[in-house]
């Protein structure tokens, strides 16, 4: 773990603890007001308990994520790359660990199983929802970028061949750019799929989990842009050749 990763982990721990403490204090103050009890006492107690939970959860989650990242070289992935299945696993285990520890401290060893299961499910559900939101956001970004690229291809086709052949050329450009293979994309997809299959099989095969990362979308987007650049270069060369024939 390099210095940058340690610094980022420390920042994540501090932020998470502060946010959890603030949320706990707010909830405690609200409960105190509703019950007409001393607000400060409830706010302090809620903030302290939530801070302890947040600190333990985030620290254990970072430890699990660090272990998952250590396996990346075996799958041909970057050291800093974190997949959705890794985050899901880490959040679930961190929730179970934190819930078990705090439940044992608060109510004794008998509360260990229930605390682990309950908070493990909470960690799993929360991370699964976050992963879904990230996938939706990335899909929209990719769709928007693809639309802009197609518009550029249509414009280039119009300039090169004139309005009479715009539709045919644009269609050819779009089809070619969509179907052109890339060894980089295939290699990255192979590594991601292999890692994803192992993670899902370890968790449960019925879970709706799909690994995504911004790097994967960037590779796909760059592949499409490269294909469009090649098409534009071809059209420009064709235009030059026709002009030379006319001269």
Q: What is the pLDDT along the chain (247 residues), one digit of tens a residue?
A: 566 667 777 888 888 889 989 999 999 999 999 988 888 999 999 999 899 998 999 898 888 888 877 777 777 777 666 777 888 888 999 999 999 998 898 888 899 999 899 999 999 998 999 888 888 888 888 887 776 666 666 565 555 555 444 444 444 444 444 444 445 555 555 555 555 555 555 554 444 444 445 566 677 777 878 888 888 888 888 888 888 887 7
pLDDT score recorded for residue 96: 92
In a domain, 175, yes or no: yes
In a domain, 172, yes or no: yes
- CA distances, 141 to each of 53, 96, 144 (Å): 35, 34, 5
| Residues 6+ positions from 187 with CB-CB distance below 8 Å | 76
Residue listed under structure tokens 């961190």: 94
Contact 93/77 with Cβ under 8 angstroms? no
pLDDT score recorded for residue 198: 58
In a domain, 127, yes or no: yes
Domain count across the chain: 1
In a domain, 61, yes or no: no
In a domain, 224, yes or no: yes
Q: Directed axis angle between helix 3-35 and helix 39-70, to 10°? A: 150
In a domain, 14, yes or no: no
**Which pTM does this prediction carry?**
0.54
In a domain, 102, yes or no: yes
In a domain, 41, yes or no: no
Can you give the residue range of the structural domain that contains 187?
A: 71-246
| Residues 6+ positions from 55 with CB-CB distance below 8 Å | 13, 16, 17, 20
pLDDT score recorded for residue 217: 64
Closest by Cα among 86, 96, 145 to 121 = 96
Kindly state the tokens that stand for 239.
């235009």
pLDDT score recorded for residue 201: 54
């Amino acid at each position: 773990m390099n210095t940058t990763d340690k610094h980022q982990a420390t920042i994540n721990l501090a932020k998470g603890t502060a946010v959890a403490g603030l949320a706990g204090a707010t909830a405690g103050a609200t409960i105190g007001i509703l019950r007409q009890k001393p607000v400060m006492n409830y706010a302090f107690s809620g903030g302290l308990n939530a801070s302890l939970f947040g600190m333990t959860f985030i620290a254990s989650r970072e430890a699990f994520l660090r272990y998952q990242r250590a396996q990346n070289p075996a799958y041909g992935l970057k050291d800093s790359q974190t997949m959705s299945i890794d985050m899901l696993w880490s959040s679930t285990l961190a929730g179970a660990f934190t819930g078990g520890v705090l439940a044992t401290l608060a109510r004794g060893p008998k509360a260990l199983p229930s605390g682990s299961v309950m908070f493990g499910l909470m960690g799993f559900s929360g991370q699964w929802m976050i992963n879904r939101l990230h996938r939706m956001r990335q899909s929209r970004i990719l769709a928007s970028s693809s639309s802009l690229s197609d518009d550029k291809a249509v414009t280039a086709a119009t300039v090169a061949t004139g309005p009479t052949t715009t539709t045919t050329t644009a269609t050819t450009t779009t089809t070619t750019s969509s179907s052109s293979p890339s060894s980089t994309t295939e290699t990255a997809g192979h590594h991601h799929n292999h890692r994803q299959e192992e993670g899902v099989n370890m968790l449960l095969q019925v879970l709706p989990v799909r690994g995504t990362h911004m790097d994967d979308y960037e590779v796909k987007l760059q592949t499409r842009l490269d294909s469009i650049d090649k098409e534009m270069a071809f059209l420009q060369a064709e235009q030059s050749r026709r002009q030379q024939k006319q001269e």
